[in-house]
Amino acid sequence: MSIKSKFVIGLVILATVSLFVGIWALAAAPLAPPPSPPTGNNSPHIDPHWTFPTIDPINHAPDGPDYAPLIAGMRPSVVSVITEVSVSSGLFGRRIRDAAGSGIVIDADGYIVTNNHVIEDALSITVELHDGRAFAADLVGGDPTCDLAVIKIDASDLSPALWGDSGSLAVGNVVLAMGNALGGGIVATKGIVSRLDVTLSVEGVALFGLIQTDAAINPGNSGGPLVNMAGEVVGINSVKIVAPQVEGVGFAISSDQARLIIPDLIRHGRAICPWLGVGLVTVDRRLAADEDLPVERGALIVEVVSDSPADIAGLRAGDIIISFAEQEIHDVPELVQAIRTSNVGDEVEIVFVRNEETRVTSAQLIERPDP
């Protein structure tokens, strides 16, 4: 091998060793952190004299109405109602749990209206006021057929709610729903009147004259007020439809209906309702075709209570009532509503169809007997 070749090989070996040593040195040496920006007292942007700048307010009207004064005015009249109820817990028998609802102060003496289902079967009832005071409440009276109840507390400095006329409502009116939603204290939600004079069957009980609203009504809202923009109670929140495909469908008992029932609950401990004494089924086209009935509307009598006004008037099972007190009857809810809006002792004319013959009779309504 020539001297020149040996020299070149030596340079390659030296370069290779140098490169290896360089790589090892880089791997073994710690990496230096990148320089960080100055912080704390070292920051060039520190200004010990800085304050919020003064900016002139924009002078324009708010984007929408301010509901705060209305809610603040209603707040003292809305209460939380907490009950203790006994529930079945499977293998562990029965246990006591708390349930939440709402109520409306209706006079300065401590009378409060709520839903019957809020206090039904309650072992104890407690009312919490807006100022944090809590009182044990006594049940004055309740009626499941209209889902209303009145309770009473021994308290002073109460603020009764202003009662409004639900008959003046129109679809589209803005309303607020207030109550002890989810048991977390009194809250308010906003919506509109979606429908009026709704009939709804709830656990076998027909409720009439309901106000439908899309204002959010949640568990605990029951018994709280539906309020118009004048700060008046126009309804008592009662029912919400809960289903995966349903949203914003709640119902309130109208204030006009409640005003008819509340005095009876306070004076008698129950609702004084007129009674005819019949079991009924609505007649429609399908039923008329299936049963070969002579008419396609009305209320078919399926039962007559012995010695009831209907029995004394000569009505019997199979008759179809098509008119009551000069009101045309198309279905059972219309007949029940016509009876409820009559008075105990009224003599009412009843037009009915028996077989294919239209007949007329009269009945004197009496007070509904206790269940």
Cα-to-chain-centroid distance, residue 100: 12
- Please report which residue ranges of 205-331 form alpha helices under DSSP H: 255-268, 285-291, 309-312
Check residue 29 and report its DSSP letter: S
CA distance 57 to 54: 9
N- to C-terminal Cα separation, the chain: 125
* Residue 20 CA from chain centroid, whole number: 79
Residue-wise burial string across 253-288, b where 16 or more C-beta atoms lie within 10 A, e elsewhere: bbbbbbebbbebbbeeeebbbbbbbbebbbbeeeeb
- Of 77, 80, 166, 222, which one is the catalytic site residue? 222
Using DSSP's 3-state secondary structure scheme, residue 144 falls into: coil
Task: Select which of 147, 214, 264, 319 is catalytic.
Answer: 147
The residue assigned the tokens 């309303």 is 175
Q: Do 309 and 341 contact (CB within 8 A), yes or no?
A: no
Query: Would you call 49 a catalytic residue per the annotation?
Result: no
CA distance 86 to 230: 40
Task: Return the SS3 of 167.
Answer: helix
User: Do 279 and 247 meet the contact criterion of CB atoms below 8 Å apart?
Assistant: no
Helices (H), the chain: 3-28, 68-74, 116-119, 255-268, 285-291, 309-312, 332-340
Active site residue 194: no
Q: Pick the catalytic residue: 77, 117, 214, 323?
A: 117
H/E element, 212: strand 205-213
- The region that residue 74 occupies, defined by phi over 0 for left and psi between -120 and 50 for alpha, beta otherwise, is alpha
CB 193 within 8 A of CB 172: yes
Task: Compute the distance between CA of residue 319 and CA of residue 356 in angstroms, rounded to an integer.
Answer: 10
Residue 141's nearest CA partner among 126, 131, 151 is: 151
Residue 147 falls in the annotated catalytic set: yes
- The residues carrying an active-site annotation are 117, 147, 222
